A = this chain, B = another copy of it.
Amino acid sequence: MAVTIKDVAKRAQVAPSTVSRVIADHPKITQETKEKVRKVMQELGYHPNLLARKLVTQSSQTIGIIRKTSSKRSLSDPFFPVALQGMSDLLHEKKYSVLMTCGESDEEIYHEVVNMVQGKSVDGMIMLYSQDNDPVLQLLLEQDFPFVMIGRPTDHIDKVMYVDNDNVKAARDITDYLIRAGHEYIAYVGGDPRFEVHKDREQGYKQALKLADIQSELLFRKEISRDSARETVAEILEMNPRPTAIVTTDELMGMSLLSALYERGIRVPDEMAITTFMDSMLSELSSPPMTTVDIHAFQLGFEAAKTLVDLLEKPDMMKRNILVPTSIVVRESCRKNKTNGAMI
């Protein structure tokens, strides 16, 4: 088969252990020996077998990424690729590899995670979602396996290290931004509050209204699809008084509403303002470009990976959670002044 450490040893007339030490650049090997061995490695085209090294060192230098890809929707969601890039950047720098779950159903994913963990294929994991009553989370905690979550855990919050935005604040900020722009009737269109992220954002929206003494909570919980967007827009337009702004918590949701408004001939931002969350190119390239809460998905991924690597290097480190600040990116979708409001 391939050339091994033994072949190199024989040819260089040293012991295999010496070759191993040369590879590791062990300080106690003479420069002379190192050069001799390296020359032979060159000649023979030697490359260490990582599998063997991993087995003996009991470390895979690999991180597992657990993602849910349930819906067709999630495939177009820029969050995943951007966060992945953030993780990749840090992990690559720290010489870790990335192994990813492939499964679609919860059971498939669970089994993959069991395999990675028990099969020693990864040293740690990053969970890209947070969900009620998750057997995967359960497993990782039981096994005391190192992992970091992106998003806030619903259960066992004091046992889990996580990286997240302050979603309450983010939603409060953007709602407040609309209020200050003169809007009073502000609809909120978000996702299933079984997920912490949506629960938090709803709460932030409500807080902003309360602080401004606005009574009318106009809360919608919707799936993302063309039809659902049409429905939502129809409902919103029928309200009396009619809302003048919509807070959404997702770019695709924002785009679908924008599209539904367009179909109805409602001009954005003149007749309806709209905001989203995330800030990928989608918000920038939509017509009109959308004002959005930048959640810094790249940084979320980066910090999660960094925290995990820190944990692996110092297993007894103090638990820490990281909040990545959000910021509002102002674009055209709600920048105009309202007749009854202030100029922004």
Q: How far apart are A272's CB and chain B's nearest CB, in angstroms?
A: 13
Contact B256 A285 (CB under 8 A): yes
A residues 71-104 near B (Cβ < 8 Å) are 72-73, 75-78, 80-82, 85, 88-89, 91-92, 97-100, 102-104
Given A252-B281, A282-B76, the answer on whether A47 and B114 have CB atoms closer than 8 Å is yes
A288 in the interface, Cβ–Cβ < 8 Å?
Answer: yes
What does DSSP make chain A's interface, helix, strand, loop or mixed?
Answer: helix
Given A76-B281, A81-B80, the answer on whether A50 and B121 have CB atoms closer than 8 Å is yes
- Chain B residue numbers with a CB within 8 Å of A60 are 51
Q: How far apart are A180's CB and chain B's nearest CB, in angstroms?
A: 26
A residues 113-143 near B (Cβ < 8 Å) are 114-115, 118-121
- Chain B residue numbers with a CB within 8 Å of A258 are 285, 287
Contact A98 B89 (CB under 8 A): no
Q: Which residue of B lies closest to A91 (CB)?
A: B102
Q: Which residue of B lies closest to A281 (CB)?
A: B76
A31-75 vs B, CB cutoff 8 Å, 1 = contact: the mask equals 000000000000000011111101100101010000001001101
Q: How far apart are A10's CB and chain B's nearest CB, in angstroms?
A: 20
Q: How far apart are A73's CB and chain B's nearest CB, in angstroms?
A: 7
A20 in the interface, Cβ–Cβ < 8 Å?
Answer: no
A259 in the interface, Cβ–Cβ < 8 Å?
Answer: yes
Interface residues on A, range: 35 or more
A284 in the interface, Cβ–Cβ < 8 Å?
Answer: yes
A226 in the interface, Cβ–Cβ < 8 Å?
Answer: yes
Q: Which residue of B lies closest to A65 (CB)?
A: B100
- Chain B residue numbers with a CB within 8 Å of A58 are 1
A203 in the interface, Cβ–Cβ < 8 Å?
Answer: no
A258 to B262, CA, bound (A): 13
Contact A50 B281 (CB under 8 A): no
- Our pick among B120, B252, B281 for the contact of A73 (Cβ within 8 Å) is B281
A286 in the interface, Cβ–Cβ < 8 Å?
Answer: yes
Contact B81 A92 (CB under 8 A): no
A171 to B108, CA, bound (A): 39
Given A81-B81, A287-B259, the answer on whether A52 and B50 have CB atoms closer than 8 Å is no
A255 in the interface, Cβ–Cβ < 8 Å?
Answer: yes
Query: Can you list 20 residue pairs at the A/B interface with Cβ under 8 Å?
Result: A48-B118, A48-B119, A50-B115, A50-B120, A51-B55, A51-B60, A52-B55, A72-B281, A75-B82, A75-B280, A76-B82, A76-B281, A88-B102, A92-B104, A92-B108, A98-B100, A226-B285, A252-B281, A255-B285, A259-B288
12 more CB-based (< 8 A) A-B contacts, given A75-B85, A255-B282, A259-B286: A49-B55, A50-B120, A52-B55, A69-B85, A72-B281, A75-B81, A76-B78, A88-B100, A89-B104, A92-B103, A92-B108, A98-B99
